[in-house]
Structure 1
Amino acid sequence: MYKKLLLAAVTGMAMLIGCKKEGESNLRNRDKNDEGFGLYKEVFLEELWKTDPDRATLAGNHTYDSLLVLPSEYRKKMLDLAKVHLDSLSRYPEAELSDANRMDFSLIQNFLRATQWNLQQLKPYEWDPTFYNATGTFAYILNEPYAPLTARLKGFNDKLGGVPEYFKEAQKSLKNPVPELTSLAIAQLTAASEIIEKDFADSVHNSGIPEVEEKVMIERAKLAAASIRSFTTWLKSASDGKGRSFRLGKELYEDKLQQELQPSFTGQQIFNSAMERKKVIHKQMIKLAKQLWPTHMAGKSMPSDSLEMVGEVIAALSAKHAGPEQFKAAIQQHLPTLTTFVQSKDLITTDPAKQLIIRKKPAYLSHRAGTFVTSPGPYEKTGKFYYNIINLASLDKEKADSYLREYNDYTLQLLNIYEAIPGRYTQLALANGSPSMVKAIFANDAMTNGWAVYAGEVMIDAGYENTPEMRLMWNKWHLRAVCDAILDYSVHTGAMTKAAALKLLTKEAFQEEMEAENKWTTVTLSSVKLASGFTGYKEIIELRNAYKKKMADKYKLKDFHDKFLSYGSAPVKYIKEAMLAKEKQPETAN
C-alpha cells in the first residue's frame, strides 16, 4: 500500500513538473517546501534510473537491470533530463529549504550541469572507447548476490539482446580514439566477451533453467560476444597511434575539476598548494631520516644528497614485509588493532553493524589495480563491504616483490588506515546509513578520498605507532596524495613526460617502480581522479581549523569528525557551509 501511495504521489508531482505553460511557475506554493522537495527528489531519481539503468544497477536499484540503452538514445535522454530538471530546480526557493535539502538541491544541480558539460563540451563518446564499456554492469549482475541467481540471469539475458546494436552505434560514434584508452577498452571488452560467453553460459547451465530456455539464452550470449569481438577487432585497426592525445589541456582540465570534484579551489591553486606541501614533507623526512640513519644504516656513509639519503633509509625499512602467502592474513590480523585504537582515543563514532569482509579480489574486479575496499550501492542498506586483496600469485616474482616492498610492515598499516579504519570503509559505512539517498548516489570523490588521506594524519597525530620509523613512512604515504595531484595537473595541463613522471614518483615520492608505473598508467587513462585525495584533504584541514575557531573551548575532535561525516559523501564546500553557518536563533514572540 505504501508503495502505491508513493507512486501516486511521485506520478502526480511528475505531471505537475511537466505541465508548465510558458511564463508560469508549475509549482504551487505549498509544494515548494521541504516536503514538496522530498517528493521531487523521488521523481528525479526515478527518471534518472529509467534513463541510465546501468547507474541504477550499480546504485543497488535493480528495477531496470534488463535494460541496455543505446548510446545515441542515452545521450539524447540524458541531455533532455538535464534540461527539464534544471528548469524544475529553478522553481524551488533554495534559500528556504532545510540545510539537508539545500545540499541535495546543489548536488542534483551539479550533476545535471556536469552532464551537460560532459556531453556537450568534453564529448568522451567521440574519443574514449571505454565510454562504451557497458559490459561492466553485466559482470556486476552475474557476480553480486543481491537477488536469486535465476532472476539475475534472466535480467542479464534480456539486457544481452541490445548488445549487437549497441556496439554498432559505438563504432559509428568514435571519431578520434585515444590510443591508451583504446588499449584499455580492448582489454576490458576482451574480458567481457569471456564473461558473457563462458561465465554466463556456465551459470545458466548450473541454474536449473529449463533446457529449451537455456539454449536460447546461450545462443543470445554467443551473438552478443561475437559483436563485442567484432568491435574490438575494429578498435585494433582504428588504433594507429595517431588518435587524440590523452592530455586534456588546461581549459578542459580546469572545467572538469570543477564539474567532478566541486572544490573550493582551481586546479592551479591545488597544484601550487601541493608543491608547497611537498617541500614541507621533505623537510620533515630529511630530519627523521638523519635521526634513523645510525640505527638502520650503521657503517654506511651518508649521501650528500638529502633526498637520496631519505630514499636509502626508506629502502631499508621497506625490506621488512609480509611474504606473498601471508599478505592477506597480515591485513586481517591488523584491522582489530585499528578499531581498538580509534575507540581508545575517542576519535570517531563507528558503526559496528556494518562488517568489512576480507576476500581475495574477484576476477571481475581484476581491472582495478592493487588492494581496495568496495561498498554496496546506496539502495543496498544491508549490503556487504568488501576489502579486496590483490592476488600476488598472479604477478611475476619481480612485480610481487616490488608490491610487497611498497606495502611493507609500515605502509601496509597505513593502507589499512586509508582503505578501512578509520578511512574509506568507516566513512562509506556511515554514508551508507545516511537518510539522504541523493548524497549517497552522487558521492564526491574529493570528500571520500580526501577523508581517507586525512584519516592517516589523524591516526599519526593521535600517537598511533609513535616511532620515528612510522612517522617517516607516514610522510612517504602522505606524499602519494601530494604527488598524485602534482602529476595529474602537470600531465594534463602541460607536457610532463613519462620519464619526468617516474622521476617525481620514485625519487621525490620514494615509490617502488611498479607503483610508479601504475600511476603513470592511471594518469594516461583518467584525469582529475588523482587530484581528488589531496584536494579533499586540503579542504577538510581548512574546514577543521575554521570549525575549531568557531567552537572555541567547546571544540572536540570527535565532535568535528562525527558532524562532518553526518553529511554523507557531499562535497566539502557544502559541508563547510553547513558546519560554519551561524546557529539560528529562536524567534521571539511579539
Structure 2
Amino acid sequence: MQKHGFRLLLASLMAGLLPAASLPAYSAVTPAASALAADQHQADLDFQKIKATFLKELWRQDPDLAMSAGHFAQADRLALPGQRERDAYVAFAERWLQRLQQVDATRLPPREQTDLVLMQNYLNGTRWYLTRFREFSWNPSQHNIAGGFDAILNTDYAPNIQRIRAAIRRLQQVPAYYAAARASISQPTPEHTRLGIRQSSGAVSVLAALESAAAEQKLSHAEQTALTTGLRQARTAIQEYVQFLENTEQSMNPATARSFRIGCALYEEKFKADIQSGLTAEQMYQRALVAKQAAHDNMEKLADQLWDKTMGDTAKPADRVQKIAMMIDKLSEQHVPAKELYPEIRRQLPVLERWIREHDLLSLDAEKPLVVRETPEYERGVTVASIEAPGIFRPNDKTYYNVTPLDGQTPEQIESTLREYNRWVLQILNIHEAIPGHYTQLQYANQYPSVIKTLFGSGAMIEGWAVYSERMMLESGYGDQAPEMWLMYYKWNLRTICNTILDYSVHVLGMSEAEAKDLLMHQAFQTKAEADGKWLRVQYSSVQLASYFSGYSEIMAFRDELKQQQGAQFKLKRFHEQFLSYGSTPVSMIRNMMLNDKSH
C-alpha cells in the first residue's frame, strides 16, 4: 500500500468522475498542416498559463495538499474542516470547472489533453466527495492534525528554526480545528469513531515531537510563550475531541447507528471516480471471481509438485483447497524472528536493486533516500506496510517505508503475522512497497514535468504497477523459479484478487464478518492476523482495495497488446521506462499516449 507524499486519504480525492474515454482522439500533425501546428503551439502556451494560475489558487485553497506536494509556502496555515471551508472548496471547484470548459481540447497536444482531463476529474471528484459522499460527517478519523505537523518536522524544506516557527503558528489554530471537526460530525459509524479515538493518540505524540524539536532551537520569549500555550491548548483540544468521540460511541444504538457499508449506488459512483476504469464495479468483481479460480488452478499444480518434498508421508487430501492450505501452512513455518523483521527488510532492498540492474529491467536511481521506519502512531490500524514518498516539488527528500511494529500483540498474534510475511512473502512485500514497486514508480513520477499528472495521480495505476512489478520480477527469474516462491506469489496475488471480491461483497452485497474471514482464510489462505486486519481495513475504507486488481489487470493487458504488436521488437525495459515516464496517470491514458508517442 502506498501513501506517496500526497497521502492515501487524499489519493481517493485525486481521482475524478470523467472516464478516460472522454480524452479526445489524437491526430498526428503533418507538414501540410503547419498552420494547425502553430495554432496548437499557441493553445499549448495558453494552457500552461491556465495551469500555473490554477495551481497557485489551489495552493491557497488547500495548504495541506500543497504541503503533500512539497510546496510549503503556507505550512503555517491549518485548513479547518468546517462547512464554510467546504463551501469555499466547492465554489472553487465549480468556478474552475466552468473555466476549463472554455478550453478547446482539440487544439492541445495529447500530453496536455490528459492534464485537462485530470484537472476536471479532480474538481468533479472534489465536488462529489464534499456534497455527495460527505465522509467528513461520518468518519471522525478524517479529522487529525498529525499529518501536517509530521510533514513540517520531517521535511527539510527550510532551516529548523523556520520550520519550528511555522509549526508554532499552525499550532495556534488547533483548537478551532477540532471545534470545526466536532461540528462537522453527524451520525458517525461506530467503526470510524473507534478508529478516530485510537489514531488521535498519534496526534498527541506528534505534539511531543514538536516540543522536543523546539527545545533544540533558540526561541524568543514571545515564541516560547506561544509554543507553551499552543501545546497546552492543542492537547486539551485533542483530549476534548477524544472525549467527544467516546461519548458519541457510548450513546450509539448498534441497531440504528450508521453502517460503514456505503451501498451499491455510492460504491459504483466512487468506483467510477477513484478507479477510472472502463468497467463498472460489478464487472470488475465478476472478473476477480474468474481470476480467483485461475489462481487456485495454478496453486494446485504447485502444491502437487511440492508435496513429496515438503510433506513427506502426509496423506494428500482430495480437496484441492485443503491441499493448498496444508502446503502453505507448512512452508509458512519458515519466517524471520520478530526481532529480525526490520533488519531483514533493510537487507533485502539492495538485493532487489542489484537484480534489476543485472537483468536490465529498469533504470534505478539509488541516490534517493529510502528510510525503513515504524509506522507513525497516527497512521496505524489500517495496513501493515506503506510507502510515503516526497511531493513533486521536493523529489530528493526521504521516502519512508512504514512497517507497523508488532508491539502490544500476543505471542500468537506475532507468530501469525510472521507466518503471513514468511520467507517468500516478505520478499514480495518489499518488491511491492519498495523496489521496483511504489518507491521506484513514485521516483519516476516525480521526474515527469507535469505537476498535474503527479499531483492528481491515479491510485489504480500506482497500486497496479506495484502488483505488476511482483509478477514481472518472478517472470525475470527472481527467486530462481522455485515452486515455493511461485506458490507464495499466487497466495500474495490472491490478496489483490480477493481485495476486490471482499470490498465489493462487503460494501454492496452485505457480506458478514464470518463470510469475509472465510474468504480470506480458507480461500485466499491468509493467516488469522492478516484476515483480522483486512476485516478492519474494509470497514474503514471503500473502493481503494479494488484499485490493485483493476490497475494490475489493465497494465498486463496493455503489455500483452504491445508484445503482440511489436513482436521481436518489444523490449521489456523500454516498455517499463516509457510506461513510468508519464507519471501516475491512469493506465488508459498512458496507453493512449504510448500508442501515439512517435519518439520511442
Asked if TM exceeds 0.5, the reply is yes
| Aligned mate of 1:158, from 169, 194, 200 | 169
| Aligned mate of 2:64, from 50, 54, 59 | 54
Matched, 1:210 2:225: no
For 2:405 and 2:532, how far apart are their aligned partners in 1?
18
Which residue number in structure 2 is paired with residue 513 of structure 1?
528
CA deviation digits over 1:461-493, x for unaligned, max 9? 222221111111111011010001100110111
Identical amino acids, percent of aligned pairs: 37
Give the root-mean-square deviation of aligned CA atoms: 2.0
Matched, 1:479 2:494: yes
For 1:389 and 1:504, how far apart are their aligned partners in 2?
25
1:360–1:390 Cα contact (<8 Å) kept: yes
1:129–1:181 Cα contact (<8 Å) kept: yes
**Number of residue-to-residue matches in the alignment:** 555
2:202–2:377 Cα contact (<8 Å) kept: no
Which residue number in structure 2 is paired with residue 557 of structure 1?
572
For 1:518 and 1:32, how far apart are their aligned partners in 2?
53
CA deviation digits over 1:276-296, x for unaligned, max 9? 000000011011101111111
Deviation at 1:124, TM superposition (A): 1.4
Deviation at 1:145, TM superposition (A): 3.6
| Aligned mate of 2:153, from 142, 149, 167 | 142
Distance 1:188 1:246, change over 3 A: same
Which residue number in structure 2 is paired with residue 176 of structure 1?
187
What does 1:108-507 align with in structure 2 at a 5 Å threshold?
Answer: 108-196=119-207, 198-239=208-249, 240=252, 241=254, 242-363=256-377, 365-367=379-381, 369-465=383-479, 466-507=481-522
Deviation at 1:388, TM superposition (A): 2.8
SS at match of 1:244: coil
Which residue number in structure 2 is paired with residue 42 of structure 1?
52
Which residue number in structure 2 is paired with residue 8 of structure 1?
none
Counterpart amino acid of residue 62 in structure 1: F
1:449–1:532 Cα contact (<8 Å) kept: yes
For 2:598 and 2:345, how far apart are their aligned partners in 1?
43
Which residue number in structure 2 is paired with residue 81 of structure 1?
92
| Aligned mate of 2:112, from 98, 101, 107 | 101
Higher RCO (CA-CA < 8 Å; seq separation 6+): 2
Distance 1:582 1:54, change over 3 A: closer
Matched, 1:72 2:83: yes
For 1:173 and 1:582, how far apart are their aligned partners in 2?
47
Distance 1:422 1:251, change over 3 A: same
2:201–2:378 Cα contact (<8 Å) kept: no
Which residue number in structure 2 is paired with residue 15 of structure 1?
none
For 2:377 and 2:146, how far apart are their aligned partners in 1?
14
Which residue number in structure 2 is paired with residue 33 of structure 1?
43
2:40–2:109 Cα contact (<8 Å) kept: no
SS at match of 1:33: helix
Q: Which runs of 5+ in 1 are unaligned?
A: 1-28, 585-590
1:320–1:408 Cα contact (<8 Å) kept: yes
SS at match of 1:245: coil
Counterpart amino acid of residue 202 in structure 2: A
Deviation at 1:243, TM superposition (A): 2.6
Which residue number in structure 2 is paired with residue 6 of structure 1?
none
Deviation at 1:99, TM superposition (A): 1.9
CA deviation digits over 1:475-515, x for unaligned, max 9? 10110100011001101111101111111111111111111
CA deviation digits over 1:46-84, x for unaligned, max 9? 111111111111221101111123322321221111111
SS at match of 1:101: helix
Deviation at 1:319, TM superposition (A): 0.6
1:60–1:379 Cα contact (<8 Å) kept: yes
Counterpart amino acid of residue 81 in structure 1: F
For 1:73 and 1:52, how far apart are their aligned partners in 2?
14
SS at match of 2:402: strand
Distance 1:362 1:190, change over 3 A: closer
Distance 1:77 1:443, change over 3 A: same
Which residue number in structure 2 is paired with residue 543 of structure 1?
558
For 2:577 and 2:41, how far apart are their aligned partners in 1?
33
Distance 1:375 1:304, change over 3 A: same
For 2:552 and 2:390, how far apart are their aligned partners in 1?
24
Q: Which runs of 5+ in 2 are unaligned?
A: 1-38
For 1:160 and 1:389, how far apart are their aligned partners in 2?
28
For 1:425 and 1:195, how far apart are their aligned partners in 2?
25
For 1:360 and 1:168, how far apart are their aligned partners in 2?
31
Counterpart amino acid of residue 578 in structure 2: K
Deviation at 1:131, TM superposition (A): 2.9
1:444–1:571 Cα contact (<8 Å) kept: yes
For 1:141 and 1:349, how far apart are their aligned partners in 2?
31
CA deviation digits over 1:349-383, x for unaligned, max 9? 22333242334445555455323332111111211
Deviation at 1:397, TM superposition (A): 2.0
Distance 1:194 1:554, change over 3 A: closer
SS at match of 1:272: helix
Counterpart amino acid of residue 532 in structure 1: S
For 1:112 and 1:339, how far apart are their aligned partners in 2?
38
Counterpart amino acid of residue 236 in structure 1: E
Deviation at 1:103, TM superposition (A): 1.3
Distance 1:113 1:514, change over 3 A: same
Task: Using the TM superposition, name which of 108-117 and 152-161 deviates more.
Answer: 152-161
For 1:336 and 1:115, how far apart are their aligned partners in 2?
40
Which residue number in structure 1 is paired with residue 29 of structure 2?
none
Deviation at 1:154, TM superposition (A): 1.5
SS at match of 2:372: strand
Deviation at 1:223, TM superposition (A): 1.3
TM-score w.r.t. structure 2 length? Answer: 0.89
